[in-house]
Amino acid sequence: MLCRREDSQNKMARSYSQIPKIQLGKKGLTENFFQMLMNCFKNHKNVKIAILPGAEEERKNIKEISQKIVDKLGKNYTSRVIGFTIVVKKWRNAKD
């Protein structure tokens, strides 16, 4: 039994580390950024966006950036802010 549990923990760790990561720099939300983001969503359900210090220094403004990203992507996407990282998730059906 212990071997199966260890295997499932390793599988979870591997799947978590395979989430693509994008950096948002001082140029902000550009068309190239959104193209790169959409390319990541062709193969993955989740994408991590790291906000670099040149882009934004205050955490409350990162929530606004997160909302702008979700608004631009559409209703099938949601986001969560964790520190200076935004995790965007793609859903099959639109969320209200």
- Extract long-range pairs of 17-20: CB within 8 Å, 24+ residues apart: 18/44, 19/44, 19/46, 19/47, 19/48, 19/87, 20/44, 20/47, 20/48
Closest CA to 62 of 13, 46, 70: 70
Q: What is the pLDDT of residues 58-78, one digit of tens each?
A: 777 899 999 999 999 989 999
Count other Cβ atoms within 10 Å, centred on residue 10. 10
Is the residue at 64 inside a domain?
yes
Distance CA 26, CA 42 (A): 26
Is the residue at 3 inside a domain?
no
pTM: 0.76
Check whether 32 has a pLDDT greater than 90.
Answer: yes
Taking residues 6-21, what's their average pLDDT? Answer: 62
Is the residue at 76 inside a domain?
yes
Q: How many domains does the chain have?
A: 1
Is the residue at 59 inside a domain?
yes
The CATH number linked to 34 is: 3.30.110.60
CB 34 within 8 A of CB 7: no
Taking residues 53-61, what's their average pLDDT? Answer: 79
Taking residues 49-58, what's their average pLDDT? Answer: 84
Is the residue at 44 inside a domain?
yes
**Full residue range of the structural domain in which residue 33 is found:** 20-90
* Residues in a beta bridge with 82: 85
Taking residues 31-50, what's their average pLDDT? Answer: 92
Check whether 95 has a pLDDT greater than 70.
Answer: no
Reported as a pLDDT band with limits 50, 70 and 90, residue 47 is very high
